[in-house]
Homo-oligomer: A and B are copies of this chain.
Amino acid sequence: MSFPTPGQPVRGSQSGNHIMALFDLLGRSWAMGIIWRLKEGSCTFRVLQERCESISPTTLNKRLKELTTALLIERTMEGYALTKKGEELFDLLKPLEGWAKEWARHFKTQ
């Protein structure tokens, strides 16, 4: 399982530019969606799978391992949960929601 480590060559940067490492991590299917859904509260694998509506267990498992290695997710007694870092990242993604709502208006007439 290739994990984009900051400081190592990643997609977009041979020198492992931090932001490119992050983009490499988040730019994989479901990565941001999982963080978003986990913010609703810690939960089990299956519940998380349902929250995501259509993710395959293969992909969910892979993403969970990557995000855990990335210190964004951890396992607790309640199941999978966002770490402090994960929460921080969520807070940075949160503003995208309002923007996305505005952005969506451009596609309404289709």
By the criterion CB–CB under 8 Å, are A96 and B107 in contact? no
The chain B residue with its CB closest to the CB of A52 is B12
By the criterion CB–CB under 8 Å, are B71 and A106 in contact? yes
By the criterion CB–CB under 8 Å, are B54 and A12 in contact? yes
By the criterion CB–CB under 8 Å, are A11 and B27 in contact? no
CA of A96 to CA of B95 in the docked complex: distance in angstroms? 12
Interface membership of A23, Cβ < 8 A = yes
Q: How many identical chains are in the complex?
A: 2
Main secondary structure of the interface of A (DSSP, over half): helix
Interface membership of A46, Cβ < 8 A = no
Interface residues of A in 35-60 (CB under 8 A from B): 36-37, 52-55
**Can you list 22 A-B contacts (CB < 8 A)?**
A5-B110, A6-B100, A6-B107, A7-B110, A11-B54, A12-B53, A14-B53, A14-B54, A18-B103, A20-B33, A21-B100, A22-B96, A22-B100, A23-B33, A26-B26, A26-B27, A26-B32, A27-B29, A85-B103, A89-B99, A89-B103, A92-B99
